[in-house]
Amino acid sequence: MTHNDGHRDRHKGEQLLHAADEKGNLSGKLVKRWDAHTSPGLKHLAYGILVVNSKGEFVLHKRPERKVGGGKLDLPVSHILSTETHEQAYTRTLKEEYGVTEKLEFEDYGGFSYEEHYEDGTCENEFCLVIVVHCDGPFHPNPKEVEGELFFLPGRKALDEINSHPEKYTIWYREAIKLLAKHPEGKKYLA
């Protein structure tokens, strides 16, 4: 994100994130969110939460245009801030994006490293953890984080969908589905 772009989430730019390497190992250093997301970016730790309902559907939303990588179908994503545990971060994100306040169990399926650069000088340069959580709501989407209604994608169609229409989905959602497809336990969500 560029420093002078007023319509973006400027107040979050000073947040401190954990620097990481290509394998997700933390360096012990902290980086400012702006610096991490301004090309070429600094590799840092992020996560995506695949919310799965009792029908075996992934709960997705359209990412607001004002966000890096906006305008595509997305899952709840964020960063583990310097002051929080993994569970606190996941809980915060589900509350901020989907209005979910109940205590949930989080399943960690490892992660992947990726980079994506955008024409406006912003980028993603992350090691992204893939977290699965079971939840049927109630969902109260935050209009600052979610554009329009939630979208429910049957897990059995997810792999075909990202291969047939990759342009509809954020890169980190596509990579999360690919990771699940290769994981001995994770692939059950795609069956």
Q: pLDDT digits over 112-152, tens only?
A: 999 988 888 888 999 999 999 999 999 999 999 999 999 99
* Residues 153, 23: Cα–Cα separation, whole Å: 29
Q: pLDDT digits over 37-67, tens only?
A: 998 999 999 999 999 999 999 999 999 988 8
The per-residue pLDDT for 170 is 94
Cβ neighbours, 10 Å, residue 102: 10
The per-residue pLDDT for 14 is 83
Give residue limits of the domains in the chain: 10-190
Query: Is 80 in contact with 126 (CB distance < 8 Å)?
Result: no
Structure tokens at 126: 């992350």
The per-residue pLDDT for 70 is 85
- If 0-12 CB within 10 Å is exposed, 13-18 middle and 19+ buried, where does residue 21 land? exposed
Model confidence at 12, pLDDT cuts 50, 70, 90, reads low
Architecture of domain 10-190: Alpha-Beta Complex (3.90)
